[in-house]
Structure 1
Amino acid sequence: MTRLFNEPSQFADELVKGFVAANSQWVRPVAGGVVRRAPTVEGQTAVVVGGGSGHYPAFGGIVGPGLAHGAAMGNLFASPSAQQVHSVAVAAENRGGVLLTFGNYAGDVLNFATAEARLNSEGIVTRTVVVTDDISSAPVGQEHKRRGIAGDLTVFKAAAAAAEAGYSLDEVVRVATEANDRTRSIGVAFSGCTLPGQTEPLFTVPAGRMAVGMGIHGEPGIAETDVPTANELAELLVSSLLAELPPSIATAQDARAAVILNGLGSVKYEELFVVYGRVAELLEAAGITVVEPEVGELVTSFDMAGVSLTLFWLNDELEGFWRAGADTPAYKKGRVGSPSSASTAASTADTQSFAEADRLTLAAETAASLPTELPDSSDASRDAALAIADAIEAIAEVIDEHADELGRIDAVAGDGDHGIGMQRGSRAAATAARSAALNGAGALSALSLAGDAWADRAGGTSGALWGLALQSVGAALGNTTEVTGSAVATGVSDAVSGIQSFGKAVVGDKTMVDAMVPFTERLSREVNAGGDLVTSWRAAAEVATAAAAGTADLLPRMGRARPHAEKSLGTPDAGAHSFALIVVRVGEVLASRHSEFA
């Protein structure tokens, strides 16, 4: 289990702080993650990677010369927010365009795509390559659905080396795409991992058994077997990968491949070397030339006991990029230039000046995110903004009260991060809303700033969706008009429509939508029939609570819970449950502040 932590919701922030303090020769902090300490050549494509925290050395540990230019580092097992990705990309790019590359998970795809669109709209040419190397997560012909696991490294390494070689953005994208097409991985697990603050692992494997094909967040595999010997495990991994050659590889005989034997946290180097000895023999027997193998921890999952094997089938170009030098905190190969000519001989005073520069950089980025002047607003809208701040603070309180429960529910079929993510998002939103209201913001401004803060601090899919929800309600309320029940109902309906369009979920998928849709339908019906907002909201909250409880009888059809479908029967969806808790608590605030609403 994870034993050393302070406040679980602050774990990701604190690990980034400590990581930067220990590795300031290579990286400097920016809002949302880290970028290279050393300046890059003007016009060089910036390769920006990222994903949830909890997988070190992915992703911050591979930032440096020869590898990533920056890493967006999200909350534990949750994708970085679109704002985080944008911030890191802006800090990393140097007039050569940006490649965003990351593992294929719903939250990452959503948030990186949002950041990509924003960067392009701002004139920073940006492209995306998604890593899909895990053969156990989807069959041949559906490679685009596969997860990204330890094969992340081959794609990141090839793309970054191409950028260092002066390739244009289009050529870097071509190289990264080809590297992904030529990478195959499979993993096994013997036990689950435990998030900070939790006493039980996210998943379990029966004693004496091994899950084949299990993902790095506990996603289920394709089989379960008795725990094999080291040689038997090597034979299973190698035979599985040789059974599916990339289309560009006609035969394994005489092929060349980079090999990664990756430990996921609790399987240590000595064990990995025992396994790799047999892996090497099997690959040689198959006629494969192994090129610069890597054995160690490259993509981990806290204390998860597991192993993955990756084969990266090389051509001459990709082999050159795989062999190219790299110097990062956690991954070093060959020789490259000093990570920072300015810091190599840095004195204590120099180091202190770096720390001060980082502090000032972060302060400037934070200040830049706040509006210099709030839009005009009416007295009624400003009064409503104060009530909105009360409501969002109440949301944060109810999430704090139920965070452990939400994490436990989410861990049944997901990755257990829902409680922590909702805490981070709702607390940030409450702070932003209160600050805005006290500074004279109207309802629209207060909700927009709160939505931005929620999405940024929570990350993941739920962070993006709650950010969108607050912004949609704000747009319907405006800054200058009276806040009416009709306007609130319209805003909630717009929020649900936006979330369904953005996240693609429908009723029955076992998501937050299962509670949101009946809530908004009942709220609109009550308001349109002439009901006041407080009474209508409470009636809708009762419907949402019943609908959330009813998700216990559903099988998930989207997200990380989908592969655990049967396992989740009998447990409500964490997103639907948290939504119901929220609307009930907001109803109480509305009742106490009814004078601010018509």
Structure 2
Amino acid sequence: MTYLFNQPSAFASELIEGFVAANADKVRQVSGGVVRSTRSQPGTVAVVIGGGSGHYPAFAGLVGQGLAHGAAMGNLFASPSAQQIYNVARAAENGAGVLLTFGNYAGDVLHFGQACERLKAEGIPCEIVTVTDDISSARPEEIEKRRGVAGDLTVFKVASAAAEAGLSLDEVTAMARQANARTRSLGVAFSGCTLPGAEQPLFEVAKGTMALGMGIHGEPGISDTEVPRADALAELFVERLLQELPPGVTEAKGQRCAVILNGLGSVKYEELFVVYRRIAQLLQEHGIEAVEPDVGEFVTSFNMAGASLTLMWLDADLETYWRAPCNTPAYRKGSVIKAEPLSAAEREVVVQEDIPPASDAAKRSARCVLALLETVAQTINDNAQELGRIDAVAGDGDHGIGMARGANGAVEKAREVARRDAGAGTLLCRAADAWADKAGGTSGALWGVALNALGTALGDELAPDAERVALGVTHAREGIMHFGKAKPGDKTMVDVLVPFSDTLNQQVAQGASLVDAWLAAAAVAQQSAQDTAQLLPKMGRARPLAEKSLGTPDAGAISLALIVEAVGKLLQSNQGGAA
């Protein structure tokens, strides 16, 4: 369990505040995360890493000289929003572009991708490298689907050292991709992690057993086995990793490897050293030389009991950058020349938010949109526990919590901009950004995309009508399918959104009012959500445990159906008011 916290909802923000206070000589806080508080070499690439909180030392603890220039930090186990990532990247940028690198999780891919597009649109060169080191999360022929675990560190370290050496953005990106291509990891868990305020862990491991192939967000393993002795665990790690040599490595003998034995939160360092004793013996027996091995906690899963082994198969360049000096709050190598601290003025980051002008009709419509968002938030809050239960069947159980954070954040932002006389379009777009920011994760990103599409369609000039709303829903559907890559049949919210959009547009095209069209589409959405129970997931964290979800509907599909139903009821009770 988690012993020390104030309000669970404030845990992530308070931990960042305390971390910065303890490490002000190396990092400073910006909106969305942390960046270096020391001066970086002008004209060099900035490496920005990130993901959800709860993985310390990843991600904030890896910011500093010789390693990352900034870290975007979301809520516990939730991706940072595109806005957070953008803020961190802008604060870290040194004049030669930005490399965004992170573990391969759907929410992170969406949000970092959106931030990358925004940076490029503003003339800042930007590239992305996702870390895909976990061999348990997909077969070798689907390596692009693998998630990033402790191999994050090898990729971050190589990329950052290359940037520190003055390489161009293309060269830094190539080195990061090379590091990722030659990194493999495997992990196990002996117990789940329990987040602040939660009464139960995100998943359970039966007493005396071990989950093989766990993920760092509390995802269950892909199989269970008896807990072995330390030597047997070392042998399992090494045997499995040596079964899959990366491209360019034809045999293990004679190779040099960066080695990371990583604790996931509750396994003691002394236990890790017992395991590493046997790992070192096995590597030597196979003719592999461990180069500057690391044993400890580097990418954790809050307070999960577990461990993972990572091997990065080195070439000359990778070894140079792996061994290069660095100095961060949580990770140090060699000796660096102390960097000059930034001045007080340079540490200040000013963010201004202007509200564009709107017509009186759009301002009146904004109040209606606010009422709809309040209804959405209430609906999600009322159903958060059940959504979490459904999500826990084959996922990590945080869908209800994340949706509640997003919806409540959207309402808070909508109320703020409504007081500043925003139009309906601006109100919905700002609420969309807040939803993605507060919720994090895949659903946060997708709901941000959806609400932005609706807000853009509504605009700040005219009162919404049925045609404009239907068009906005169509754009939301297109955006979600583009960014999320899901299609009907994948057991996601798309299985509800597509029939809802089709029905809404058909009804509007036939002359139905917005209220009638929406109610008809909402009824289709309800049935479509229930129908997902018979599908097997092909996307996201539930995919490795697909069979467990058969018979249970998708949590994202259910939450979408609940929302459109609640909106329809409010529209019906205020006939004509929102249309």
Q: Which residue of the other structure, out of 469, 482, 493, is the alignment partner of 2:450?
A: 469
Query: Structure 1: how far apart are the matches of 2:390 and 2:194?
Result: 14
Structure-2 residue corresponding to 1:23: 23
1:32-43 matches, cutoff 5 A: 32-43=32-43
Q: What stretches of structure 1 of length at least 5 have no aligned partner?
A: 344-353
Worse overlay, 215-224 or 476-485: 215-224
What are the superposed Cα offsets for residues 454-504 of structure 1, whole Å, 9 maximum, x if unpaired? Answer: 223322221221122122222332322232223222322322232222222
1:216-365 matches, cutoff 5 A: 216-219=216-219, 221-338=221-338, 340-341=340-341, 361=349, 364-365=350-351
| DSSP-derived class of the 1:116 partner | helix
What are the superposed Cα offsets for residues 417-443 of structure 1, whole Å, 9 maximum, x if unpaired? Answer: 222322222222212222333332222
Structure-1 residue corresponding to 2:210: 210
Query: Structure 2: how far apart are the matches of 1:407 and 1:58?
Result: 26
Worse overlay, 198-207 or 52-61: 198-207
What are the superposed Cα offsets for residues 11-57 of structure 1, whole Å, 9 maximum, x if unpaired? Answer: 32222222222222211111111101101010111111111111111
Q: Which residue of the other structure, out of 544, 562, 569, is the alignment partner of 2:525?
A: 544
1:533 matched to 2:500? The reply is: no
* Amino acid aligned to 2:318: L
**Root-mean-square deviation (CA), in Å?**
2.1
Query: Structure 2: how far apart are the matches of 1:63 and 1:591?
Result: 52
TM-score by length of 1: 0.92
Q: Which residue of the other structure, out of 505, 509, 517, is the alignment partner of 2:490?
A: 509
TM-score by length of 2: 0.95
Alpha carbons 2:64, 2:329 under 8 Å: kept: yes
* Amino acid aligned to 1:92: A
Query: Structure 1: how far apart are the matches of 2:140 and 2:573?
Result: 57
Deviation at 1:382, TM superposition (A): 1.8
Query: Structure 1: how far apart are the matches of 2:502 and 2:251?
Result: 58
Alpha carbons 1:2, 1:195 under 8 Å: kept: yes
Structure-2 residue corresponding to 1:55: 55
Q: 1:11 to 1:542 in 2, by over 3 A?
A: farther
Q: 1:428 to 1:238 in 2, by over 3 A?
A: same
1:471-510 matches, cutoff 5 A: 471-510=452-491
Query: Structure 2: how far apart are the matches of 1:225 and 1:292?
Result: 31
* Amino acid aligned to 1:455: A
Structure-2 residue corresponding to 1:191: 191
What are the superposed Cα offsets for residues 268-290 of structure 1, whole Å, 9 maximum, x if unpaired? Answer: 11110110111111111111221
Deviation at 1:133, TM superposition (A): 1.2
Query: Structure 2: how far apart are the matches of 1:342 and 1:173?
Result: 27
Q: Which residue of the other structure, out of 367, 370, 373, is the alignment partner of 1:389?
A: 370
| DSSP-derived class of the 1:141 partner | helix
Alpha carbons 1:473, 1:494 under 8 Å: kept: yes
Q: Which residue of the other structure, out of 429, 437, 462, is the alignment partner of 2:418?
A: 437
Query: Structure 2: how far apart are the matches of 1:63 and 1:8?
Result: 25
Query: Structure 2: how far apart are the matches of 1:480 and 1:594?
Result: 22
Structure-2 residue corresponding to 1:107: 107
| DSSP-derived class of the 1:594 partner | coil
Q: 1:507 to 1:251 in 2, by over 3 A?
A: closer
* Amino acid aligned to 2:210: M
| DSSP-derived class of the 2:116 partner | helix
Q: 1:142 to 1:483 in 2, by over 3 A?
A: closer
What are the superposed Cα offsets for residues 240-264 of structure 1, whole Å, 9 maximum, x if unpaired? Answer: 1122222222322222112110011
Deviation at 1:140, TM superposition (A): 2.6
Alpha carbons 2:369, 2:578 under 8 Å: kept: no
Alpha carbons 1:55, 1:299 under 8 Å: kept: yes
Q: 1:376 to 1:214 in 2, by over 3 A?
A: closer
Deviation at 1:116, TM superposition (A): 1.4
Q: 1:168 to 1:525 in 2, by over 3 A?
A: closer
Q: What stretches of structure 2 of length at least 5 have no aligned partner?
A: none
* Amino acid aligned to 1:146: R
What are the superposed Cα offsets for residues 355-389 of structure 1, whole Å, 9 maximum, x if unpaired? Answer: x986x52xx22xx2x22x51342x32221111101
Query: Structure 1: how far apart are the matches of 2:141 and 2:516?
Result: 52
Alpha carbons 2:39, 2:339 under 8 Å: kept: no
1:375 matched to 2:380? The reply is: no
* Amino acid aligned to 1:538: L
Q: 1:140 to 1:516 in 2, by over 3 A?
A: closer
Query: Structure 2: how far apart are the matches of 1:337 and 1:318?
Result: 22
Q: 1:314 to 1:479 in 2, by over 3 A?
A: same
Q: Which residue of the other structure, out of 561, 569, 577, is the alignment partner of 1:588?
A: 569
| DSSP-derived class of the 1:406 partner | helix
Q: 1:404 to 1:222 in 2, by over 3 A?
A: closer
1:417 matched to 2:391? The reply is: no
Deviation at 1:213, TM superposition (A): 2.0
Structure-1 residue corresponding to 2:558: 577
Alpha carbons 1:9, 1:423 under 8 Å: kept: no
Structure-1 residue corresponding to 2:68: 68
Worse overlay, 116-125 or 476-485: 476-485
Worse overlay, 181-190 or 86-95: 181-190
Q: 1:24 to 1:257 in 2, by over 3 A?
A: same
Deviation at 1:592, TM superposition (A): 4.1
Deviation at 1:339, TM superposition (A): 5.5
Query: Structure 2: how far apart are the matches of 1:251 and 1:555?
Result: 38
Worse overlay, 180-189 or 471-480: 471-480
Alpha carbons 1:380, 1:483 under 8 Å: kept: no
Query: Structure 2: how far apart are the matches of 1:420 and 1:21?
Result: 28
Worse overlay, 473-482 or 164-173: 473-482
Q: 1:580 to 1:196 in 2, by over 3 A?
A: farther
Q: Which residue of the other structure, out of 534, 544, 550, is the alignment partner of 1:563?
A: 544
Structure-2 residue corresponding to 1:201: 201
| DSSP-derived class of the 2:292 partner | coil
What are the superposed Cα offsets for residues 546-594 of structure 1, whole Å, 9 maximum, x if unpaired? Answer: 3223322322111111111111223321211211222222223323443
Deviation at 1:341, TM superposition (A): 4.4
| DSSP-derived class of the 2:368 partner | helix
Q: 1:341 to 1:14 in 2, by over 3 A?
A: closer
Alpha carbons 2:35, 2:63 under 8 Å: kept: yes
| DSSP-derived class of the 1:136 partner | coil
* Amino acid aligned to 1:316: A
Alpha carbons 2:368, 2:578 under 8 Å: kept: no
